Amino acid sequence: MSLPPPRFATLTPENKAAQKCLASLVDSQPPESPVHLVAVAQADSPTKPTDRAAQSKYQLVLSFDARGSSLDRGWVVGKLKQSSKINLPICSSRSRHLKGWKICKLSIHPQSGALLLWNASQHHSIVYLQANGSQDVELQYNDGYVLHKNTNRLRIGPLDFVLEFSVRDEITYSTHLENYMRRQYQGWDHHRRVQEY
């Protein structure tokens, strides 16, 4: 059995509706389904989310070894559909909680290396809860925002999630990020990275 790829972040359902959506999706998949490559049981996770998210049966993992399917190599979040390239499925194609297949995208800025959240849905806004202190930031279609906290709470339509960086060691994270960026962007130079996007 091969070791799991290094994970740099987890996306965990926080409210009951989101937890039920992901659990129903994962439990209905056959063992060979690619869903099992990104959806893991909480017991297998190196970090434990706090509060309501800790009650979730599963969480999704982001890894530098798994390239996203969007044109800018970002990871697409949405409803599972065989014909669409959804990297992080949060619910089944039959779910009535969300409209459309692609809901949002997580990508790494090619200059700064910052993790960005983009709204890819024309049906749902995405709210970055308490993004600026106590202030929420609402993203409409094609809006993007830097996920600048270690623990980021997101509201996608009626579903709440926690995106948390799971690599606590800054040196390890930077090494994996630099290797990933060099693979994805030819000529990328980590010395040109800026601290703030």
Report pLDDT digits (tens) over 141-194. 999 999 999 999 999 989 999 999 877 677 777 777 887 777 777 666 655 544
pLDDT for 186-195, tens place per residue? 666 655 544 4
**Over 50: is that where the pLDDT of 121 sits?**
yes
Asked, for residue 158, whether it belongs to a domain, the answer is yes
Record the tokens describing residue 83, joined without a space: 């014909």
Asked, for residue 25, whether it belongs to a domain, the answer is yes
The span from the CA of 52 to the CA of 39, in Å, is 18
Asked, for residue 77, whether it belongs to a domain, the answer is yes
pLDDT of residue 151: 93
Asked, for residue 96, whether it belongs to a domain, the answer is yes
**Over 50: is that where the pLDDT of 1 sits?**
no
The span from the CA of 85 to the CA of 79, in Å, is 10
Contact 19, 56 (CB under 8 A): yes
With pLDDT > 90 as the criterion, what percentage of the chain qualifies?
40
Asked, for residue 156, whether it belongs to a domain, the answer is yes
The dihedral region occupied by 46, where left means phi > 0, alpha psi between -120 and 50, and beta the remainder, is alpha
Q: Provide the residue range defining the domain that includes 184.
A: 7-188
pTM above 0.85, yes or no: no
Question: What is the amino acid identity at position 127?
Answer: V
Asked, for residue 1, whether it belongs to a domain, the answer is no
How many domains, the chain? 1
- Give me the mean pLDDT over the 123-152 stretch: 94
Asked, for residue 92, whether it belongs to a domain, the answer is yes
Query: What is the rounded radius of gyration, in angstroms, for the C-alpha atoms of the chain?
Result: 16
CATH number of the domain where residue 184 is located: 2.60.200.20
The span from the CA of 77 to the CA of 10, in Å, is 13
pLDDT tier at 129, thresholds 50, 70, 90? very high
Asked, for residue 168, whether it belongs to a domain, the answer is yes
pLDDT of residue 3: 42
pLDDT for 46-87, tens place per residue? 455 556 667 788 999 888 887 777 767 789 999 987 656 899
Element (H, E) at 41: strand 39-41
pLDDT of residue 182: 77
Residues 6+ apart with CB under 8 A from 46: 7, 166
